[in-house]
Every structure is written in structure tokens, then in C-alpha cells.
Structure 1
Amino acid sequence: MSKKYIAILTIFLALLIDQISKIYIKTHFVLGEEVTVFSDWFVIHFTENNGMAWGFEFGGKTGKLFLTLFRLVAVTGIMYWLTKTIKRNTHTAVIVAISLIFAGAVGNIIDSVFYGIIFDTPYNGVATLFAEKPYGEMFYGKVVDMLYFPMWEGTLPEWLPFFGGKYFTFFNAIFNGADSWIFIGTVLLFIFNKQAFPKED
């Protein structure tokens, strides 16, 4: 299989998994609902945010629009990078890595751009896909997160500076498939950095 088709297949499958999981959670879980998958360290917990890492927000609607537009520009740059990398016949792992990063960025853009006009958000109920009265408008949708891995929870030792004696959860971020693809792609680029960023002769 050519590297071009490897990139296309990687992007397609990554986007498909990301969007199917988000749509399923959105249409089957009430906001804040959670289900334990394995013991207490792997939980499906439905939450939403305006698209920034760790749920941070800034600038209200203007900040949200800026963030979405910035992502669209970034995705264009990633696509250009991927195209150049394919033409250079770079290592397959690098092609997969950039494809995953591209798919992850696009996956969260889909939420931000379209979810506000295709989903409703009923109080204490599950959302409807292609709802008659959606909750928002184009470019102002919320990103769906659901993967939660609270591997350890407890009170930190008193002798620790700054955080001693405080209750702490590791790992307390809730994320989605798109975030996972970006992380995996970044790790692959780190591993194959010599192939991804060859030194010029």
C-alpha cells in the first residue's frame, strides 16, 4: 500500500472512531454521567468543554471563535506538512504520526464547528442528533470528552512542598479519541524524530 493511502486510511479510521464514540456518548449519556469500565482506574465520564486543553476558557464567544479559526489554520498547516512528508517518501511511522495529529485536530474541529447546530442539550436528559432546536450555532459547539483514568487518588504527604496535605488525583484530565490521536502522533514523532526532521546535507 502506498504511503498516500496509508495516510488516508489512518485519517479516516481515526476520525470514524472519534466521531462514533462522541455521538454515542452524546446520545446515550446524561451530562456528568459516568460508567466504570475497569476497576476504578478507567471510567467513561461524559463532559463537555469549549475546546481548550484541560477545559480552560478565555474571551467568551470571541475567544471560542478565535480558537476554532486558529485550529482551522493549524490543520491547513498540518495537511501541508503531511503532503510534503509523503512526497519525501519518509518512514511510514512518521506518515502515520502526522496523519493521527491531523485527524485529532479535525475531530475536535468538527465538534466546535458543527455540534452546536446538530445537537440539543436537554436538562437531565440525553441529546438528540439533528435536533429541531439545537443548543448553539455554527463555530460555537462544545467538544465532547469521555475518557477518564483516575489511576490514583489520595492525600499527598505533608512533607511535599506546595502540595503537601492536599487531596490529589492522578490522572485527572478527561479527554476524547481526538486528543488521544494527537498524543500518540506526538509520541511517534518523538520516537522517529530523526526520520521526521532529517538534517539537511
Structure 2
Amino acid sequence: MKRSFFIILPIIVLDQLLKIYVKTHFRLGDEFYIFSFFRINFIENPGIAYGFFINKSYGKIILSIIKVILIIIISIFHINNIRKNVTNYIIIPIDFILSGSISNFLDNALYGLLFNSGTVYNKKFHNWIFYSGISTIDFSFKKGYSHFMEGCIVDMFYFPLINFSFPKWIPIVSEFNFQFFQPIFNLSDIFIFIGIILLFFFRNKINQY
């Protein structure tokens, strides 16, 4: 149990520190080049993960509730595995998945209360309204841009590994721009992805238990 704590907690803290830094130092849409194929591009995601959006504000609340249920289920499963002293091929990947899930949930649960500006849903026009400027933190939770469980996830990692346009002389697809990889994501998403990949990669060893 203690070993998992020292994996999960640092991931959550590191992810949250990175998100808070980006949100309080970058304007929405700001882009910072590290390499041509790797950029810091600040967006707010009112949806699921990896840049996928949902269309209505109440959907975000439902999604947050689903996240809580999934985190509880994963946590109970994880604690039982730790008590049974199962292999690290199960424990460590689930540590990664759980830490990423908890950290992303904290965005949904608290960021609407913690920050003075953020992406909000306009019920009248049925669309998401983005903001200008740089956000500040209000630790009193009284001047937030939204309500509990209605905050947006902060994403910033952008890897356009392939980016080119087809030449004019090619029929149908002329001047069509192809880009891979388009989604923008965060550190939590990376650890969730790594955890899932590890479970898949070590599935034969896991099946022995």
C-alpha cells in the first residue's frame, strides 16, 4: 500500500503543478515550440481526454460522476490486489491509471472553483465560450468561473509528428492537410495510456495469477 502511495502521489502532484503553471502563465491557445514535432499548446478540454469534447454542460457533470464511480471501483480492486500481494505487473500499471484518473478528476471537480476564468458552456447559444487573458487562482473558492464538478481539464502536450499537405496535382486530396498526432493531452493522460499499454504488454504474466 505504501509503495503505491509513493507512486500515485508524486504523479498527481507533478501533473497538478504543471497544469496550474500552464493555466496561470499561458493564454488559452498559446503555443510554445520545444521541437518542430513537440509543442506546448494550452487548451481547456470540457470533455473526456486527448482533446475529445462533449457538447453540453450537464454532460460534464454526468462525466464527472462516472469518473468518481470508476475511480472508486479501480481503487477497491487495487487495494484488494495489494492485500493479496499480487505481482507488480498488475500493481504498477494500475498505480499509473489510478493516479492519472484522480488528477484529471481534480480538474473537473475543483478548477471551476479555483480559477477566475475558464471555458464555460452557454446554455442560450448551446456552445462553449472560451476566454481571453491569463487565469489567476482564488483560494477562497468564491470567484471561480464555474461550479463544483464543472471545471475543465487543462491539456498542453501537442505532438504533430507528421504534418504535410498533398500537392495540387493530386486529384481529390489536392491541398488536403494531413496531420498526425492531432490530440492535445496532459501528463495524466500519458500515465493512463502507459498503464493500459503495460497491462496489455504483460497480459501473459498477469494471466498466471
- What TM-score does the superposition give when structure 2 sets the normalisation length? 0.84
Task: List runs of 5+ in structure 1 lacking aligned partners.
Answer: none
* Residues in 2 aligned to 1:156 and 1:21: alpha-carbon distance in whole angstroms: 37
Residues 67-146 of structure 1 correspond to what in structure 2 (within 5 A)?
67-121=63-117, 123-130=131-138, 133-146=143-156
* 1:99–1:163 distance in 2 versus 1, CA, 3 Å: farther
Aligned partner of 1:66 in structure 2 is: 62
Q: What SS does structure 2 have at the residue aligned with 1:147?
A: strand
Is 1:19 equivalent to 2:16 in the alignment?
Answer: yes
Relative to the length of structure 1, the TM-score reads 0.87
Alignment of 1:150 with 2:147, yes or no, is: no
CA contact (8 A) 1:6 1:96 kept: no
Give RMSD over aligned pairs: 2.4
The equivalent position to 1:183 in structure 2, one of 187, 190, 193, is: 193
Q: Cα–Cα, structure 1 residues 157 and 196, in superposed 2: closer, same or farther, change >3 Å?
A: farther
Residue 70 of structure 1: CA displacement? Answer: 0.3
Tell whether the 8 Å contact from 1:75 to 1:102 is kept in structure 2 after alignment: yes
Report the number of matched residues. Answer: 194
Equivalent residue letter for 1:111: D
* Aligned residue runs from structure 1 range 31-70, under 5 A: 31-38=28-35, 40-53=36-49, 54-58=51-55, 60-70=56-66
**1:125 is aligned with what amino acid?**
G
Structure 2 residue aligned with 1:174: 184
Letter matched to residue 73 of structure 2: G
* Structure 2 counterpart SS, 1:144: strand
Identity %: 34
Q: Give distance in 1, aligned partners of 2:84 and 2:147.
A: 41
Deviates more, 1:70-79 or 1:125-134: 125-134
Q: Which structure has greater helix proportion?
A: 1
Which residue type is aligned with residue 71 of structure 1?
A: K
Deviation at 1:28, TM superposition (A): 0.5
